[in-house]
Amino acid sequence: MSLSSIDDVLRGWDGELAVSCHDERTDTWMFIAVHSTKLGPAGGGTRMKSYAAPADALRDACLLGRAMTLKMAVAGLPMGGGKSVLAVPRELSAADRRHLLLRHAHNVEVLKGSYRTGPDMNTTSDDMDVLGEVTEFAFGRSEARGGSGSSAPDTAVGCFEGIKASVAHVFGSPDLAGRSVLVQGVGAVGEPLVRTLHAAGANVLVSDVSLPRVSALYDELGVEVLAPESVIGAEVDVYAPCATGGVIDAAAIPRLRCRIVAGAANNPLGAPEDGELLSEAGILYAPDFVINGGGAIHLIGYEALKWSKEQVDAGVVGIGATLTEIYARADAEGISTETAAERLAYARLGQPAPPA
């Protein structure tokens, strides 16, 4: 079932422009949403995923692009925000995938650097190397091809720091020993996050729609595995969504049994007002575009700003302090953490924040 029409996606969206085409060979709808170039060229990954209808994919690109604008602004990076979505009808053969990526690279090239892409859900450094055959505007190529490699491990580090800052805010100490943390989605970001949490002594629970992924972690680390349908009601200190967005909505919030929501997934809230609902339910929410900024800091830091590893690491670890500041502001002003984070982003953009 389609949740949106192109009409209501674009009418309600405050971005600059969205471009689209349909690739006949693979039956893929291709979208690039340029949300903002106010602070610099729009940056944001290429997501490959199936959707019920093209308008749903466009909506995802538009909203994810907006989240990228906020992410770059909060992280203090001189970039705007955008996103691309390749709405594939099914998993593609290697040859079809390459064909699609080359076409996408051409589209990125047509935008002449006003949109620069990178890896995102279901795309990797190898895919960025393919884009790099056609366009220079692809971050996250392999090191062999002159890129900075996968940004996912740094996204995980930033998320780990954000979880510690959130635990410190709620429990008075950042110590994770004995704290239960549920990681939903153990892909490129979730998997290294699980390892780091486990090493820090947390009691880690995992869930993923892919059984082989969770069973490998169970065999290796002995982490508890939850069925996907048990995630929302799980009684844990921290729930870390690290898969697709929209998992926390008005139906899910009353069923949550966690104290903190702090994960790396982009746009985990079903709607902006769900940030207020979480706050009313007494659950601390780490805004996604703050806690998952580690990948952007890695890609833009190394590749656009030519930062050293020390500078990138300091930026990624700084996500913890940024969240602590946002929590303090939210408490002081009696607003949700989502609203506090949006206000910080809009202040950097020099624009008024939309009404809370």
Give the residue numbers annotated as catalytic, written as ranges: 83
Using CB under 6 A as the binding rule, the residues of this chain from 299 to 318 that contact ligand PHE are 299
Kindly indicate which of the ranges 42-50, 253-261, 323-331, 336-344 contains the residues binding ligand PHE, using the contact rule CB under 6 A: 42-50
Q: Shortest Cβ distance from residue 18 to ligand PHE (Å)?
A: 17
Which of 16, 56, 60, 120 binds ligand PHE (CB under 6 A)? It is: 120
**Does position 82 bind ligand PHE by CB under 6 A?**
no
Q: What are phi and psi of 35, to 5 degrees?
A: -80, -50
Q: N- to C-terminal Cα distance for the chain?
A: 30
Using CB under 6 A as the binding rule, the residues of this chain from 325 to 354 that contact ligand PHE are none
**Does position 266 bind ligand PHE by CB under 6 A?**
yes
Q: Which two tokens stand for residue 31?
A: 């979208």
Tell me the H-state helices in the chain. Answer: 6-11, 54-75, 94-110, 125-131, 152-171, 190-199, 211-221, 274-280, 288-291, 294-299, 309-317, 319-333, 337-349
Q: Shortest Cβ distance from residue 254 to ligand PHE (Å)?
A: 29
Kindly indicate which of the ranges 107-115, 203-211, 276-284, 292-300 contains the residues binding ligand PHE, using the contact rule CB under 6 A: 292-300
Q: Shortest Cβ distance from residue 95 to ligand PHE (Å)?
A: 25
Cβ pair 147, 125 in contact under 8 A:
yes
C-beta closer to ligand PHE: residue 54 or 245: 245
C-beta closer to ligand PHE: residue 256 or 296: 296
Kindly indicate which of the ranges 34-42, 248-256, 278-286, 288-296 contains the residues binding ligand PHE, using the contact rule CB under 6 A: 288-296
Q: Shortest Cβ distance from residue 151 to ligand PHE (Å)?
A: 5
Closest listed residue to residue 209, CA positions, set 50, 4, 2, 44: 50
**Does position 132 bind ligand PHE by CB under 6 A?**
no
Which of 75, 88, 193, 296 binds ligand PHE (CB under 6 A)? It is: 296
Closest listed residue to residue 49, CA positions, set 36, 39, 37, 58: 58
**Does position 190 bind ligand PHE by CB under 6 A?**
no
Buried b (16+ CB within 10 A) or exposed e, 300-338: bbbbbeebeeeebbebbebbbebbbebbebbeeeebbbb
d(CA 66, CA 171): 32
Cβ pair 192, 220 in contact under 8 A:
no
Q: Is 89 in a helix, a strand, or coil?
A: coil
Cβ pair 118, 44 in contact under 8 A:
yes
Q: Shortest Cβ distance from residue 336 to ligand PHE (Å)?
A: 22
User: Which residues lie near ligand PHE (CB under 6 A)?
Assistant: 43-45, 117-120, 139, 151, 266, 292, 295-296, 299
